[in-house]
Amino acid sequence: MIKNIILFILFSCAVKSHSQTIQGKVIDEVSGEPIPFVSLMIIGTQTTSITNENGDFVIKAATLPVKLKFSHVSYLSDETEVKNASDNLIIKLKQAAINLAEITVDPYQGKKLLKSAFEKAAKYKDDNHYLKAFYRQLTSVNNNPTKIHEIFYDIKWNVTRTSGWIARQTRFAESKNQSGFDLSNQSYFTFSSSGYLTVPNSGTFVTEKTLDKYTIEIERYIEQADQDIAVVTCTIKKAGKNQFYANSAFYVGTKDLKIYRVENNILNLPMDLAAGAVFKYPPIVKTIATFKSGSTDINILESISTKMYLAVSYMDRMRANDLSAIISSLLTVYQEDNTLQNESFQNVRRDTKDKNVVESIKYNADFWQNNPIVKQTSLEDKFSKMMEGQNAFGTMINP
């Protein structure tokens, strides 16, 4: 059995109170399918949240009743009044209309729109925003969950990336019954991909300077109440066999020129494997970043989801073995807090080890118990409960 495969990416709170916890699920009105990454807020406050990959949400209100607003770039916004926190809400959103009629009018419209959005955002590239966020990373090997990292961060963010972080509360657990596997610094990848003005040190990403390297088209317009949202797809024209690059989709407001969502498919990501291990297929990474709309000229980070798919062959005791791994992470912002601007933030570095960060802070079981911000999918919930039953979280932390 292989002991460990270490991967390195080479490119460049909750407080106990008497508040009311509101929870529920957001689904598509027609299909009944859950809708991930729906933003929600308590109207008249700065309290926000976002649904997880199962469409589940949890949000805390100081008092009841309150009115919640639900927003998603591909759906019509909805508001609902909540009078009783014991209710498990089911929110049904109606898909926004899709307009294809304008797409063929100007074949260069997508490039012009994206260029204008980049130019607008670039004016604010030196403006920092200070956010409180929750990060979870789940590693699954051969379809079995094996490791989980969870970290509450204070972060310093601008339109290019997250540039600084402070870990406030952490925990980590792993199953000892599976093949050893570790992606040592996925948080670096998440932080580096959290903006919409990408400034890569290597590889080819969609930037204002690389637009000519991509075929750029408007795939569709999403009709929202105040403006249409153009879905602009960017496909690289020519990629070398081992070239590291991303194909992307940007969701851009046609009137305000704000970027609301960025989806990346990243191919040929350069990585190192332990001796005796090779990739069966090049790694594939998918990211989805969402940005919260506000009264300012830019949208602020709301969430970023990453999924890395790896297929590895390795020799163990003179036998060839195959290992398939999925490393998924989700960073969700639950509060903007500009009082953090005087804090001392750690720089985002490629050589930061996530597990070392976790082990640097004593595990606080009371903090994590019934914490409403720790929303989980069914897979994460099952694995976390198993680890908690084995007291695995506490034993992995250096006091």
pLDDT digits (tens, 9 = 90+) for 100-148: 766 556 778 999 999 999 999 999 999 999 999 999 998 888 888 888 8
Q: Which of 52, 53, 61 is nearest to 80 (CA)?
A: 61
More confident: 208 or 369: 208
Output the pLDDT for position 20: 85
CA distances from 325 to 118, 141, 183, 318 (A): 35, 4, 10, 22
Structural domains present in the chain: 6-12+99-395 (no CATH), 20-96 (2.60.40.1120)
Output the pLDDT for position 147: 87
Output the pLDDT for position 112: 95
Output the pLDDT for position 91: 96
Output the pLDDT for position 17: 42
Q: Are 215 and 255 in contact (CB under 8 A)?
A: no
What is the helix, strand, coil percentage profile of the chain, to 5? 15, 45, 40
pTM: 0.87
Output the pLDDT for position 3: 46
Output the pLDDT for position 72: 94
CA distances from 17 to 23, 60, 63, 106, 336 (A): 17, 10, 11, 55, 19
Q: Are 35 and 91 in contact (CB under 8 A)?
A: no
Output the pLDDT for position 201: 73
Interatomic CA distance for residues 51 and 53, integer angstroms: 7
Output the pLDDT for position 224: 92
Cα 111 to its chain centre, rounded Å, is 26
Output the pLDDT for position 320: 73
The model's confidence at residue 210, banded by pLDDT at 50, 70 and 90, is very high
Interatomic CA distance for residues 73 and 95, integer angstroms: 9
Q: Are 185 and 352 in contact (CB under 8 A)?
A: yes
Output the pLDDT for position 14: 34
Q: What one-character DSSP code corresponds to residue 211? A: G
How confident is the model over 162-179, as a mean pLDDT? 85
How confident is the model over 239-260, as a mean pLDDT? 91
Output the pLDDT for position 368: 86
Q: Is the pLDDT of residue 235 over 60?
A: yes
